[in-house]
């Protein structure tokens, strides 16, 4: 498993701030001549590379161990831990360990340690949620207080003093009054502890605000992307629905007229050798149906602006449609229309189209001799029952085109229910129920 990943820093400004703090920490570890180096920092057990080096030409003493530790802390920031809490805790622990190592090998804890702890806390804020950030800040503040305590008490940690020069002079008996300089340094120590606490709180709030703003922008970007996808989906769906609507209109209007015309022409072909006068009547009817079909095509191409009812009531339109069906097909029609009040226009149009398509299907496929149409209005809405005694069919195996599918889509668009029952040799029954509101779904 890869514990540390190379990822682009989410906040370049914070990365530049880290580099600035690292540079300040390196400068704070350097000692300038003529101050003599503290003997303890030339530790006899340390490897030579970690000892104090003096560059007399530049007038600088370089604690290489501390510089290397600070450089390692900077390089650690080029990697991000894997999104596993154990890796994140290990990553932050490395940061604290390198900070302590830099202070142990270079001293000057009062200058270097707060800077390095701030870097560790900033990185912890980028990888942890709020609970982890607060715990990292508490750990940093406790480390800083511990460093101040052992410095004031002049305790050597692992044999290393945390400062090159005495922070507070020792040797005063209990109850003796300390020199003013020691009292001043003690006050400065307390003030620095309070100031470092405020700085940690400020860093937590600042990085938290930056992360919240970044997350808000990411959420907004994802929301915009989803909205664009939804817009495209709705546009495609609207286009498909409009195509289906036009297909239904062409099929219901043009298909009905052409079917009736085809029947009339077949009658002409049968009657022409026997009864010229009656054949002429059928031919005239076929010509009329052809003109009607052409008019329907023009209306469909013109986006069907003319309403199919043509200003008639639903009962009158269905009565006229039934009369044309009987005259054209010579099939007995028993119709019962019980409409107490005119239905809404959109419902009337759908009912008309459904009945028209049912008549067309009977003319083309059923070979029926009797058709029954029953339309009733009740407080809950409208109920339509259309039944024939034709040859029937298997609804599961039906793949005859747009007819039944268009009828179902029209009814369901109004929140209604469409059901069809048919078996080979047992005719066909269509049941439609539309709620009174007719609200589209």
Beta bridge partners of 421: 429
Work out the number of other CB atoms within 10 angstroms of the CB of residue 178.
Answer: 13
Q: Which helix (H) or strand (E) holds 281?
A: helix 276-301
Give buried/exposed letters for 82-99 (b at 16+ CB in 10 A, else e): beeeebbbebbebbbebb
pTM comes to 0.47
* Terminal-to-terminal C-alpha distance of the chain: 52
Nearest to 368 by CA among 399, 330, 404, 395: 330
- Residue 430: both structure tokens together: 């269509």
Under DSSP, is residue 310 helix (H, G, I), strand (E, B) or coil? coil
pLDDT at site 169: 45
φ, ψ of residue 419 in degrees (nearest 5): -135, 145
DSSP assigned state of 177: P
Cα 386 to Cα 157, 351, 381, distances in angstroms = 98, 11, 17
Under DSSP, is residue 295 helix (H, G, I), strand (E, B) or coil? helix
| pLDDT lower than 50: segments of the chain | 1, 33-46, 48-49, 51, 164-176, 303-304, 439-441
d(CA 416, CA 410): 9
Nearest to 349 by CA among 419, 431, 418, 438: 438
d(CA 323, CA 205): 82
Nearest to 414 by CA among 320, 349, 330: 349
- Secondary structure of the chain: what % helix, strand, coil (to 5)? 60, 10, 25
Length of the chain: 441
Work out the number of other CB atoms within 10 angstroms of the CB of residue 349.
Answer: 18
d(CA 297, CA 342): 28
Cα 289 to Cα 258, 261, 304, 317, distances in angstroms = 7, 5, 18, 17
d(CA 96, CA 73): 9
pLDDT at site 176: 47
CATH number of the 312-441 domain: 3.30.565.10
Asked if residue 160 lies in contact with residue 43, where contact means CB atoms within 8 angstroms, the answer is yes
- Residue 35: both structure tokens together: 């101050």
pLDDT tens column, 401-437: 567 887 888 888 888 999 999 988 889 999 999 997 6
pLDDT at site 335: 93
pLDDT tens column, 290-325: 777 766 666 555 544 556 677 789 999 999 989 988
Q: State the DSSP string of 201-215.
A: HHHHHHHHHHHHHHH
DSSP assigned state of 82: -
pLDDT at site 159: 56
Which residue intervals of the chain bear CATH 3.30.565.10? 312-441
Peptide bond into 138 cis (omega under 30): no
d(CA 229, CA 410): 27
Place of tokens 């996808």: 229
- Integer-rounded Cα Rg, in Å, for the chain is 46
DSSP assigned state of 160: B
Under DSSP, is residue 6 helix (H, G, I), strand (E, B) or coil? coil
d(CA 321, CA 351): 12
pLDDT at site 242: 67
pLDDT at site 148: 83
pLDDT at site 9: 65
pLDDT at site 389: 92
């Amino acid at each position: 498993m890869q514990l540390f990943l190379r990822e682009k820093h989410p906040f370049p400004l914070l990365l530049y701030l880290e580099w600035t703090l690292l540079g300040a920490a390196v400068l704070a570890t350097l000692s300038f001549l003529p101050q003599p180096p503290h003997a303890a920092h030339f530790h006899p057990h340390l490897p030579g590379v970690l000892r104090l080096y003096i560059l007399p030409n530049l007038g600088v003493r370089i604690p290489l161990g501390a510089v290397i530790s600070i450089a390692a802390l900077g390089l650690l920031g080029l990697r991000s831990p894997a999104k596993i809490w154990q890796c994140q805790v290990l990553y932050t622990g490395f940061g604290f360990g390198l900070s302590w190592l830099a202070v142990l090998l270079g001293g000057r804890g009062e200058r270097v340690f707060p800077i390095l702890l701030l870097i560790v806390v900033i990185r912890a804020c980028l990888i942890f949620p709020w609970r982890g950030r607060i715990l990292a800040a508490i750990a940093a503040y406790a480390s800083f207080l511990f460093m101040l305590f052992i410095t004031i008490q002049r305790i050597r940690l692992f044999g290393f003093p945390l400062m090159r020069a005495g922070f507070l002079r020792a040797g005063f008996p209990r109850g003796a009054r300390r020199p003013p300089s020691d009292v001043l340094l003690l006050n400065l120590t307390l003030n620095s502890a309070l100031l470092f606490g405020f700085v940690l709180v400020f860093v937590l709030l600042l990085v938290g605000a930056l992360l919240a703003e970044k997350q808000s922008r990411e959420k907004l970007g994802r929301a915009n992307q989803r909205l664009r996808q939804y817009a495209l989906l709705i546009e495609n769906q609207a286009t498909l629905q409009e195509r289906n609507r036009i297909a239904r209109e062409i099929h219901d209007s043009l298909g009905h007229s052409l079917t009736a015309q085809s029947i009339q022409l077949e009658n002409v072909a049968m009657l022409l050798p026997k009864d010229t006068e009656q054949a002429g009547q059928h031919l005239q009817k076929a010509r009329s149906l052809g003109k009607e079909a052409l008019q329907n095509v023009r209306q469909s191409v013109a986006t069907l602006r003319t309403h199919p009812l043509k200003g008639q009531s639903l009962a009158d339109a269905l009565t006229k449609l039934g009369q044309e069906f009987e005259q054209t097909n010579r099939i007995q029609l028993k119709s019962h229309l019980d409409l107490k009040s005119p239905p809404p226009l959109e419902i009337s149009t759908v009912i008309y189209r459904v009945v028209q398509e049912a008549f067309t299907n009977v003319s083309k496929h059923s070979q029926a001799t009797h058709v029954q149409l029953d339309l009733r209005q009740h407080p809950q809405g409208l109920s339509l029952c259309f039944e024939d005694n034709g040859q029937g069919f298997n609804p599961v195996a039906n793949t005859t085109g747009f007819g039944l599918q268009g009828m179902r889509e029209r009814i369901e668009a109004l929140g209604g229910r469409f059901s069809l029952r048919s078996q080979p040799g047992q005719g066909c029954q269509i049941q439609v129920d539309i709620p009174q509101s007719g609200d589209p779904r």
